[in-house]
Structure 1
Amino acid sequence: MKKTIAIVGAGPGVGFAVAERFGKEGYNVALLARNVKKLNMLKDDLLKKGIQAASFQADILDREQLTRSLEAVIHHYGAIDVLEFSPTPTWDSMRTARNIDVANEQHHLDYQVFAPITAVQTVLPQMLERKDGSILFTTASSAQNPVNRTASFGVAAGALLNYARLLNMDLKEDNIYAGIVSIGALVVGEGKHKGDFPEGMPTITADEVAEAHWKLHQQREVGEIILS
């Protein structure tokens, strides 16, 4: 039976690259995000590459809808073997430390902590029953090394990092892996050159991020990778 990866927050960058990487290994791909039109474009691109894919609408800030959408994936494919969570909050939601208020930080916690917990709790019962599965997260390296201009993001990213670490510690005995990829560079498309960006700005391709996720999933030797 083919295995399935569900990608929450799927977009044309990292999400699509992860979908393509796992799809080339024979995985079914379930794409979840809020914009169905954009999701269907990604799905069609995967189908053209010979990768079995389906799209499911899910607003990660609506926990009930996110749960229903993941349950729909399980109903459609029979199981979710790998969960990958990689939504990206908007730049206009970022605050420096002195400007963080409760409403702003609640937004980031909803985005990066409560949404992934909701997703994990939906897929985990089947994984525990099978004694197999992987849970993967994507965040920025400000989870480890906070940057003041994105402080409100960094507070929540740090919580997500610790959640991923603790999940990996807790689930090992049941043969379930949890890992996180932290990105410390600007993610760019293939064909872009260093000269296209400000001097000294590190860049990385979405395919490199996807390869890091595949490596974590396959090797299960470490719980996290920082890419820069």
Structure 2
Amino acid sequence: MPGAVVIGAGPGIGRAVAVRFAREGLPVALVARSRQTLEATAEAVAAHGVEVVSRQADSADEAALRGALDAAAAELGTPDVVVYNAAIIRPDAPGELSVAGHQEAWAVNVIGALNAAAHTAPAMARNGGGSFIVTGGMPDPKPGYVSLSLGKAGVRALVGLLAEEYGPAGVHVASVTVAGPVAPGTGYDPGDIAEHYWRLHTQPPGEWQQEVRHG
């Protein structure tokens, strides 16, 4: 049975989203850089009685990411929904980060999402449709978070481009913009944020939203 793929399945939003889809009975494929992270999230997802596939990959490594997505598809089939939640979140002021540092952040925050979509959305379209949802943020750029502000602006542009490319073929491309620091028990509780992903995935085509904002 096709299910959900969560890239960046660490504690916080990634784990909460994976659990949210598992609660609906969808098998879940998890992709993350850390083996420890994968094991913890897989345990939380498996508690809901669904099949779980875990693959370790850095989203900035195109070959590794494509390999992980291929492995997930081989076990679960073409996904119904792909969530791209990977990001490098760190403070940096204007001129503080090196070119290499900006390239590293851009590769994870934006290019990883592009590569994931290019690798999965065509198959989803051929299979009748699905959802590709990216975790956004920084609705207003902040000079203390230059690389993240640039990355999230890039995500917003990317989602628009992907929606134009794959939307007519039935793939709902959208982002969830999280406007503050994620922490349990606050207004940015990951469990509450995860509800947006499920709602976007289940929206009928005539009601598709391209971006929802939390906070």
Q: TM-score range by the shorter chain?
A: over 0.9
Structure 1 position 26, deviation (Å): 1.6
Structure 1 position 132, deviation (Å): 0.5
1:181 equivalenced with 2:172 (yes/no): no
Summarize the alignment of residues 6-155 of structure 1 with structure 2, pairs less than 5 Å apart: 6-91=5-90, 94-140=91-137, 142=138, 144-155=139-150
CA distance in 2, matches of 1:41, 1:102: 34
CA distance in 1, matches of 2:158, 2:27: 27
Determine which structure has more spread, i.e. the larger CA radius of gyration.
1
1:166 equivalenced with 2:153 (yes/no): no
Tell me the alpha carbon deviations over residues 40-64 of structure 1, each in whole angstroms, 9 at most, x when there is no partner. 2221222122232121111112111
Tell me the alpha carbon deviations over residues 56-107 of structure 1, each in whole angstroms, 9 at most, x when there is no partner. 111112111011010000111122221101113142xx32123344222211
* 1:157 maps to amino acid: K
Assess if the C-alpha contact under 8 Å between 2:89 and 2:148 holds in 1.
no
Equivalent residue for 1:221, pick from 199, 208, 214: 208
Assess if the C-alpha contact under 8 Å between 1:3 and 1:26 holds in 2.
no
- 1:198 maps to none
Q: Which runs of 5+ in 2 are unaligned?
A: none
CA distance in 1, matches of 2:89, 2:210: 27
Secondary structure of the corresponding residue to residue 202 of structure 2: helix
CA distance in 2, matches of 1:99, 1:37: 31
CA distance in 2, matches of 1:168, 1:125: 12
CA distance in 2, matches of 1:115, 1:173: 23
Structure 1 position 160, deviation (Å): 1.2
Tell me the alpha carbon deviations over residues 157-191 of structure 1, each in whole angstroms, 9 at most, x when there is no partner. 111111112211332211111000011122112xx
Q: Percent of counterpart pairs with the same letter?
A: 25
Structure 1 position 128, deviation (Å): 2.3
Secondary structure of the corresponding residue to residue 95 of structure 2: helix
CA distance in 2, matches of 1:26, 1:126: 22
Tell me the alpha carbon deviations over residues 171-226 of structure 1, each in whole angstroms, 9 at most, x when there is no partner. 2211111000011122112xx36xxxxxxxxx311011110111111115210011
With normalisation by structure 2, the TM-score equals 0.92
- 1:5 maps to 4
Assess if the C-alpha contact under 8 Å between 1:22 and 1:214 holds in 2.
yes
Structure 1 position 131, deviation (Å): 2.9
Runs of 4+ in 1 over 3 A off after TM superposition: none
- 1:199 maps to none
* 1:7 maps to amino acid: V
CA distance in 2, matches of 1:98, 1:179: 31
